[in-house]
């Protein structure tokens, strides 16, 4: 039985990094989809029944984004800590390196998946059995490649909602594996985008750092106050 908090209709698991990583390791053997929604993604789901159902059909939904942590607190069913999708992904890559688990990476612009694959092999010692960029119109050959190569971990980095939709549509076609909707992780793994310095992460200001680095995200980020206000006024406090 999952222990979750319902944040605007999305069931978020009340996990910390350690318990999330333990469960994710199990999914490598049993098969499982892990999503990593931040407030922007949850607002998308709040406005789309179809997308909300897709998120709720995951095996684990981790609280990525400090806004999700605050929301759970407001809803009186707090989560232990923020579990950033990128950090969970790195934990799993380290585990893959230590246990000879093949990894497949799908997503990012042309060249990004390849660079990310090289860095995964170099930095984590994990074997990357295949990679593809995220802008192919027909993805059937990617499905065939994953079926054939049987990775233990598939990172799907297509951004939301595309990555979650793709995972749910296709996961049954593959041998059991861990599939993570990993968003912009391919860009960070490729060295194309940088994670915020630790001080920003510790002060819960990673979102602010991303805004400074990419001012074009301003309009996307306007959704953050909207998310908090919606949680305050429309959040289901029966969670408690």
Closest CA relative to residue 179, chosen from 240, 98, 88: 88
∠ CA 171-160-24, rounded to 5°? 45
Closest CA relative to residue 37, chosen from 72, 2, 1, 74: 72
Asked if 183 touches ligand UDP (CB under 6 A), the answer is: yes
Asked if 159 touches ligand UDP (CB under 6 A), the answer is: yes
Other beta carbons less than 10 A from residue 145's beta carbon: 17
Any idea what DSSP says for residue 133?
A: -
Asked if 187 touches ligand UDP (CB under 6 A), the answer is: yes
Pick 115 or 162: Cβ nearer ligand UDP: 162
Query: Are the C-beta atoms of residues 19 and 62 closer than 8 Å to each other?
Result: no
Pick 176 or 225: Cβ nearer ligand UDP: 225
Q: Residue 201, exposed/middle/buried by CB under 10 A (0-12, 13-18, 19+)? A: middle
**Residue from 15, 184, 227, 230 that binds ligand UDP (CB under 6 A)?**
184
Closest CA relative to residue 204, chosen from 108, 72, 69, 90: 69
32 three-class SS:
strand
Give the x/- contact pattern for ligand UDP in 43-82, rule: CB under 6 A: ----------------------------------------
Beta carbon of residue 184, minimum distance to ligand UDP (angstroms, whole number): 4
Asked if 157 touches ligand UDP (CB under 6 A), the answer is: yes
Asked if 206 touches ligand UDP (CB under 6 A), the answer is: no
Measured between alpha carbons, how far is 16 from 64 in angstroms, rounded to an integer?
Answer: 11
> Segment near ligand UDP (CB under 6 A), from 7-15, 118-126, 142-150, 181-189?
181-189
Closest CA relative to residue 153, chosen from 104, 188, 119, 197: 104
* Number of shown-chain residues binding ligand UDP (CB under 6 A): 14
Question: Which residues in 161-180 contact ligand UDP (CB under 6 A)?
Answer: 162
Asked if 186 touches ligand UDP (CB under 6 A), the answer is: yes
Pick 135 or 141: Cβ nearer ligand UDP: 135
Question: Which residues in 93-122 contact ligand UDP (CB under 6 A)?
Answer: 107-109
Beta carbon of residue 166, minimum distance to ligand UDP (angstroms, whole number): 10
Question: Which residues in 119-148 contact ligand UDP (CB under 6 A)?
Answer: 134-135
Residue 188, both tokens: 């960070």
Pick 109 or 150: Cβ nearer ligand UDP: 109
Measured between alpha carbons, how far is 159 from 120 in angstroms, rounded to an integer?
Answer: 20
Q: Is the dihedral of CA 190, 195, 197, 198 positive or negative?
A: negative
Q: Which residues here bind ligand UDP, judged by CB under 6 A?
A: 107-109, 134-135, 157-160, 162, 183-184, 186-187
């Amino acid at each position: 039985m999952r222990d979750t908090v319902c944040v605007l209709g999305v069931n978020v698991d009340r996990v910390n990094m350690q318990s999330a990583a333990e469960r994710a390791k199990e999914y490598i053997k049993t098969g499982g989809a892990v999503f990593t929604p931040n407030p922007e993604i949850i607002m998308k789901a709040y406005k789309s029944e179809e997308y909300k159902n897709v998120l709720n059909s995951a095996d684990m939904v981790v609280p990525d984004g400090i806004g999700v942590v605050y929301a759970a607190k407001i809803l009186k069913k707090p989560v232990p800590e923020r579990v950033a999708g990128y950090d969970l992904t790195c934990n799993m890559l380290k585990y893959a390196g230590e246990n000879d688990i093949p990894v497949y990476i799908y997503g990012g612009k042309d060249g990004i998946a390849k660079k990310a694959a090289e860095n995964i092999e170099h930095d984590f010692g994990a074997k990357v059995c295949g990679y593809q960029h995220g802008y192919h119109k027909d993805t059937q050959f990617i499905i065939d490649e994953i079926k054939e190569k049987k990775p233990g971990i598939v990172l799907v980095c297509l951004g939301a909602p595309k990555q979650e939709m793709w995972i749910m549509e296709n996961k049954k076609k593959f041998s059991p594996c861990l599939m993570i909707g990993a968003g912009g992780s391919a860009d960070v793994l490729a060295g194309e985008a940088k994670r915020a310095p630790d001080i920003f992460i510790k002060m819960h200001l990673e979102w602010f750092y991303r805004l400074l680095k990419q001012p074009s995200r301003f309009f996307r980020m306007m959704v953050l106050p909207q998310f908090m206000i919606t949680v305050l006024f429309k959040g289901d406090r029966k969670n408690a």
